Amino acid sequence: MANTSQNLSPFASFMARLNVAAEVLNLEQRFLDILSMPEKTHIVSLPVKMDDGSVKVYEGYRVIHSTVMGPSKGGIRYADYVDLDEVKALAAWMTLKCAVVGLPYGGAKGGITINPKGMSVGELERITRAYTRALKDVFGVDTDIPAPDMNTSKREMAWIANEYSRIKGAIIPGVITGKPLELGGSKGRTQATGFGVMVSCMLALKKLGIDPKQETVTCAVHGFGNVGSWAAKLMAEQGLKIVAIGDHTGAYYDENGLDIPAAFEYAAANKSLAGFTGGKAFTNEELLALEVDVLSPSALENCITLKNAKDIKARIIVEGANGPVAAEADAILNEKGIFIVPDVLANAGGVTVSYLEWCQNRFGYYYSEEEVLKMTVPMLENAFERVYEAHKKHNTPMRIAAYIVAVERLSIGITMQGEY
């Protein structure tokens, strides 16, 4: 999201929290310095023949933040506001996320500065293939493994897997995750991130002694794409009352609870919530400021900033999106006593199932959806528990606790590798 003078840029937000965690841990400067700078930054030019015969040149990025814990892993975002700062931050958060869950991965992220909604399917395919060719020596099963992010889905992943396999002269599905099932994707990947948001939400409720079976737990979900729609659907199935949902076209409210399966179907059929009649239309600003038990910002970065942090009334925030809270707003939310399950923990379900997809591609055997989700739950529960323990031990908010868990693991990895 475009930065404003109101809040820190996404990478500055990452650095602000990293510095706090380093201070709590009394971290050696060498670790802080290593984690403050991405290992490699690729900026590529992408000439694309448009449908009208003209040629346009777009800019693409792939930032490898860290490969200390394994090959780098992270999604690819298509949006007109994508810039290097944002991709750097998203890559760094992937490093932390993989370390928090204990996956054998480092962190990376990619992006192309385009408005995909203004392009035809053919143009999108050509730009995706151009991006793959430009990064053919960066991507690799054992080097750097992309995945979907905003405005990319299994369709783009299939194009990338196909282009990469053509270039390498072999079928290499494990170079990318989030693929269609027919092309080596994993069952359970589509809903994985929303599933993880739901699991994190239930764990947070349990820690706070709130039982949705005994009392009404209200919830608002900001963003209704892959993450938000699945999170809302699965939280509703757990008995939470979803009173508000919203996307870039607007927001909808019903104090008695929205019909989430209907909204889910509507958004899938219409590509957005525009025109949804199942609730009273209101604004995303109003949604974020609702007095609810759980708020799940699942759209994009910097939705809660210095400007609106004082208005937030939720008891718990479960971050489906990456970086939805600008670092400058942390103090205000902490002051209010809001329990925040940070992005690197709350939305880690996606990369966890991506890891299982990569494993399945490597050994050529495929699990049922039930098996995938059964393996995912304990990984997320363990991560939550470790972060919660660090939160208690260091008396820090859950976000800083998550940074602490990740940085401790990464410091051990860096030390064991030797040299530095």
Q: What residues contact 97, with CB distance under 8 A and at least 6 apart?
A: 107, 343, 344, 345, 347, 348, 351, 406
SS (H, E, C) 366-396: CCCHHHHHHHHHHHHHHHHHHHHHHHHHHCC
Instruction: Please report whether residue 342 would count as binding ligand NAD according to CB under 6 A.
Output: no
Question: What residues have CB less than 8 Å from 320, skipping those under 6 apart?
Answer: 193, 194, 197, 221, 223, 227, 228, 231, 296, 297, 298, 343, 346, 347
Distance CA(131)–CA(139), nearest Å, equals 11
Closer CB to ligand NAD, 32 or 242, in the complex: 242
Extract the runs of DSSP E, i.e. beta strands, from 50-105.
Answer: 55-66, 72-79
Q: Which stretch binds ligand NAD (CB under 6 A): 16-24, 144-152, 234-242, 305-313?
A: 144-152
Name the residue with tokens 């899938």.
268
Q: Kindly state the smallest distance separating residue 411's Cβ from ligand NAD, in Å.
A: 25
Please say which residue, 64 or 344, places its beta carbon nearer to ligand NAD. 344
Out of 109, 154, 179, 241, the active site residue is 109
The answer to whether 109 is a known catalytic residue is yes
254 by Cβ neighbours in 10 Å (0-12 / 13-18 / 19+) ranks as middle
Residue labelled with tokens 């996404």 = 10
Counting every residue written for the chain, the total comes to: 420
Contact 358, 174 (CB under 8 A): yes
Residue 393 Cβ vs ligand NAD, minimum distance, rounded to whole Å = 27
Q: Name the one range near ligand NAD by CB under 6 A: 136-144, 199-207, 223-231, 333-341.
A: 223-231
Compare residues 302 and 411 and give the one whose CB is closer to ligand NAD.
302
**Does residue 224 belong to the site contacting ligand NAD (CB under 6 A)?**
yes
Residue 350 contacts ligand NAD per CB under 6 A: yes
Does 305 engage in binding with ligand NAD (CB under 6 A)? no
Q: Any contact of residue 248 with ligand NAD (CB under 6 A)?
A: yes
| Residue 148 engages ligand NAD in binding (rule: CB under 6 A) | yes
Q: How far apart are CA 43 and CA 82, in angstroms?
A: 12
- Of the residues 128, 284, 352, 376, which one makes contact with ligand NAD according to CB under 6 A: 284
Smallest distance from the beta carbon of 314 to ligand NAD, in angstroms?
A: 16
Q: Decide if residue 247 touches ligand NAD (CB under 6 A).
A: yes
Q: Which of residues 161-220 bind ligand NAD (CB under 6 A)?
A: 193
Which of 67, 132, 347, 396 touches ligand NAD (CB under 6 A)?
Answer: 347
Binding to ligand NAD by residue 299, rule CB under 6 A? Answer: yes
Work out whether 356 is an interface residue with ligand NAD (CB under 6 A).
no
Region of 419 please: left (phi>0), alpha (psi -120 to 50) or beta: left
Vertex 252: Cα angle to 248 and 254 (nearest 5): 160
Q: Which region among 44-52, 132-140, 143-151, 207-215 touches ligand NAD (by CB under 6 A)?
A: 143-151
361 binds ligand NAD (CB under 6 A): no
For residues 320 to 339, the per-residue mask of contacts with ligand NAD, x marking binding by CB under 6 A and - elsewhere, is xxx-----------------
Task: Please identify, among the stretches 207-215, 226-234, 358-366, 403-411, the one whose residues bind ligand NAD according to the rule CB under 6 A.
Answer: 226-234
N- to C-terminal Cα distance for the chain? Answer: 36
User: What are the strands, taking DSSP E only, across 159-249?
Assistant: 218-222, 241-247
| In the complex, least distance from residue 216 CB atom to ligand NAD, rounded to whole angstroms | 25
The correct pick among 98, 114, 150, 199 for binding ligand NAD (CB under 6 A) is 150
What phi and psi, each to the nearest 5 degrees, are found at residue 54?
-75, 165
Residues 6+ apart with CB under 8 A from 354: 73, 145, 147, 177, 178, 186, 189, 192
Task: Give the residue numbers annotated as catalytic, written as ranges.
Answer: 109
Q: Return residues touching ligand NAD (CB under 6 A).
A: 148-151, 193, 222-228, 246-248, 272, 284, 298-300, 320-322, 347, 350
